[in-house]
Structure 1
Amino acid sequence: MGKIIYWMNASVDGYIEKAGGGMDFFEPSEDFRQEANEHVRRMSAFLFGRRLYEAMEQPWTQELGKEGAPAVEREFARLYQETPRYVFSDTVQNVPEGVTIVRSVDAASVVTRLKQEIDGTLQLGGPELAASLIDLIDEFWVYAFPVIAGGGKPYLPVREELPLRLVENRCLASGITFRRYVRP
């Protein structure tokens, strides 16, 4: 049985994107990049909302894995490309090999099936997708970057309280903190 983790980077005040859009306040440090590679190495599949898929796919399959890029980025690009990817979208029409399109009407049933079929960790990314699949998420991961965004897109746009239990809390040398939560 697989485990679904929801992982997004956020500002200290809980935003994954600035009010005007963009994530340029998440300047990844070397220690964060190494840590991300370690996590991604253990992922069995990526489950992305459309916007996160579009932000990840092109750079990590076409630009950042090329010769001349830092070794840590080339490694992430290789790991990313080797991992099956699912994009949850009603508008995406064409995807490259290694990517599967899932329509919103099928999202919960597909994730339930993947969770049953894949013995490993499935990384869910994208706040709206996570909110729509909240009951299927086993763990919530957040890397909090040392910046206050002051508004924008929240880490998880839910309208009800969801009690969690902190099971891991670490601070990287760069000041980025990692927190891992599970349901009590």
Structure 2
Amino acid sequence: MSVDGYVNDRDGNIDWTDPDDELHQFHNDRYRELEVSLHGRRLYELMAEYWPHVGDDAPSIEREFAELWTQKPKVVFSRTLTEVQWNSRLVSDNVVEEVRKLKAAGDGVMEVGGANLAASLIPHGLVDEYQLFVSPVVLGGGTPMFPSLDTRLPLRLVETRHFATAVMLRFSAD
């Protein structure tokens, strides 16, 4: 996210997020540990446009993530998509109930990807932890990281980590 709290700019671009190798490897390692990744439509389309098509000439760190992403079980939440690929399952309605079922049935770590998907889950207390990667840029507008809430959301800072291209802030919602 940007310093001013946006996950993309006013045009929906994320070209200002260019992870260095250390941060990219951190994401690879973190992604490897997930049981399932939950994607909103926009994030899924962005990821599906790029990662399954990474070529042999790409840096090894990108090839590694491409393999991880295509193989990792994913649940994609969308009312407009009619099909998904790459070890993904499509859910078209009842986002909150579906995530409650996934949390009750799973015993591993789930990742929520996509600001709009997260915004639908946060008010229901379905996000246990927040990993924010703050990039040194002010966008002045775009999609906010957090939705408007009726009440405060108290968080506890449990970890910070500095990378050359971002700072990670990890918070617990308990």
Which of 69, 72, 78 aligns to 2:61? It is 72
TM-score, normalised on structure 2? Answer: 0.93
Q: Shift of residue 175 of structure 1? A: 4.2
Q: Shift of residue 94 of structure 1? A: 1.4
User: C-alpha offsets along residues 11-43 of structure 1, whole Å, 9 cap, x if unaligned?
Assistant: 111110112221111112111111111111111
Q: Shift of residue 112 of structure 1? A: 1.1
Instruction: Check 1:175–1:24 CA distance in 2 against 1; reply closer, same or farther (3 A cut).
Output: closer
Whole-angstrom distance in 2 between the partners of 1:114 and 1:163? 24
Q: Shift of residue 97 of structure 1? A: 4.8
Cα contact 2:18–2:165 (8 A) shared by 1: no
TM-score, normalised on structure 1? Answer: 0.88
94-103 vs 67-76, greater mean Cα deviation: 94-103
SS at match of 2:12: coil
Which of 34, 38, 45 aligns to 1:43? It is 34
Q: Comparing both structures, which one devotes a greater share of its residues to strand?
A: 1
Aligned to 2:103: 115
Whole-angstrom distance in 2 between the partners of 1:153 and 1:44? 27
Aligned to 2:135: 145
- The alignment status of 1:157 with 2:147, answered yes or no, reads yes
- The alignment status of 1:15 with 2:6, answered yes or no, reads yes
- The alignment status of 1:102 with 2:91, answered yes or no, reads yes
SS at match of 1:146: coil
SS at match of 2:79: coil
- The amino acid of 1:129's aligned partner reads L
Whole-angstrom distance in 1 between the partners of 2:134 and 2:110? 21
Whole-angstrom distance in 1 between the partners of 2:153 and 2:39? 22
Unaligned runs of at least 5 residues, structure 2: none
Cα contact 2:20–2:165 (8 A) shared by 1: no
Unaligned runs of at least 5 residues, structure 1: 1-9
